[in-house]
Each structure stands twice: as structure tokens, then as C-alpha cells.
Amino acid sequence: MALSNMATPRAAQEKLTAVMPGMRTDFTGKAVRNVILLSVPDHEYDLLRPNLELMSLPHHFVMHQRGEKLDFAYFLNEGMASLVVASQDERSVEVGVVGREGMMGTPLAAGLNRAPYRAIMQIPGSGLRIHASVLETILPAAPNLQQRLSRYVLMQGLQMAQVAACNRLHELEQRMARWLLMCQDRVDSEVLTLTHDFLAQMLGSGRPSVTLACGMLERTGAIENLRGTIRVLNRKGLEDAACECYDVIQHFNGGLGLK
């Protein structure tokens, strides 16, 4: 069955209704940009607000390790985190990305308290964290938040399934184009702070192969390789270089509150 024929649930096609970024603040008065926090009613956000701690999230900041007890949930305002699975021989591959559309610590929404993946910041930013026990206490009194988190977990799972198929079936250049597009969807910038070593780790490939694929995309005019960064010059060209998986993933973006 063609990947592009994958059925898209109705929930994935419905856009979230949210307060505009900047119209809701945390307890320090800083603007909130996280889609989930902007999507819940005022009375539910008022339950969360006194318990949200603003955090600077630098490059390689680890929010939790696989198998660890989840002490906090994190709602990103800016930046992007990777969800990573590592093998015993220390090889690793990325299974998902999280930006301002989501939350790290999603098992807490289902009453679970162990992390299934390593969560690490790959593009620095900021976010709001809340203690796991506090979130678990608030959720029964916040049905809209519970629904938003359940929707997010479903959409994230569907994207992970598509990415798993993509990693198995498609060429590195196509997969890289798809990954760069997913990254740009979350950070709203044409400049992505990424090294070839990092891309190799996230895509489960070798650095020489990644450098070759980056060079191929650069020759098409889609991107520009700079030291430690990649600049997206032609998004349409990058979309053309990506496999059909990105078209499928785009159907889920509305359900995640992304463009």
C-alpha cells in the first residue's frame, strides 16, 4: 500500500482553536507560545499558570532519559527537542521531534511515570515546566487539557509511524529533506542550527553519507550549508526533494496546531 494513501483521521484534519501567541503569559509575565497552553480555556490555564516554571533550554539539555521516572513535563515556547532511542552499543536514532506544538513527558497524560525515550534539546530555546505530581493533580479538573494532550499523543504516534516507514523505505536525501521540513515547521526560521554529525545521529546514518546528501540538496538550490547551520533557501524545492511521507505528515500538522 502506498504511504501517501494512508488514511488521515478526522482529528488530524481539524485545526486547533487557540489564543494568539503573546495574549497569554506565564506567572512571571512572559508571553506563552506553546500551542497546547494557548488552546485550553482560561479557567484551566489559571490552574496551570502558578505552577509553570520558565526554563532556558540550551543545546543538548536533557529533559529525561529512557526508563527514568518523569519528574517534570515540559511545554516548549521556542526551540526543538528530539526523542531518541539508543541501543546498547550506543548507536541512536531519532523517533520524533517536539516543538512549540507539544509537550515532553506525554506518558503523564495517561497516568504513567516512566520515559519511553530520551528527550534532548537539539535547537536551543525556552519552555515552561510543571512538576509531574502537580500536573497529575490538575488533569482531572481540566478535561480540555486532557483532551488536547490525548490528541497530541495520537498525532505524535501517527507521525512516528510514518517516520519509521520513511526511515526503512526511502533514500537518505529524501529523508533529510523531510526531516528539515519537519524541523522548520516547528521553529519558524529559515536558519536551522544543525551539524552534520547531529544529522547523521538523528537519521541513523554515517556522517559522510549525510555530507553527500546535504551537498546534493545544496546543488538543487534548496539549502545552503554553513558551519554548524543549514539555511533553507527554497522551501518548495525542499518539498519537491522530500519523499511522499512529508505530504502525509503535513495532514497531521493541523491537528498539532502547526501551519
- CA terminus-to-terminus distance, the chain: 27
What pLDDT is attached to residue 20?
60
Nearest by Cα to 259 from 193, 191, 186 = 186
Residues of the chain falling short of pLDDT 70: 1-22, 253-255, 259
Instruction: Note the pLDDT tens digit of each residue in 123-165.
Output: 999 999 999 999 999 999 999 999 999 999 988 888 888 888 8
What pLDDT is attached to residue 36?
95
List b or e across 34-47, with b for residues whose CB sees 16 or more CB atoms inside 10 angstroms. Answer: bbbbbbbeeebbeb
What pLDDT is attached to residue 6?
43
Q: Is 169 helix (H, G, I), strand (E, B) or coil?
A: helix
Q: Which domains does the chain have, with CATH numbers?
A: 3-164 (2.60.120.10), 171-242 (1.10.10.10)
Q: What is Dmax (Cα atoms) for the chain?
A: 54
Alpha carbons 67 and 148: distance in angstroms, whole number: 25
Alpha carbons 26 and 45: distance in angstroms, whole number: 10
For residue 66, the 8-state DSSP code is: T
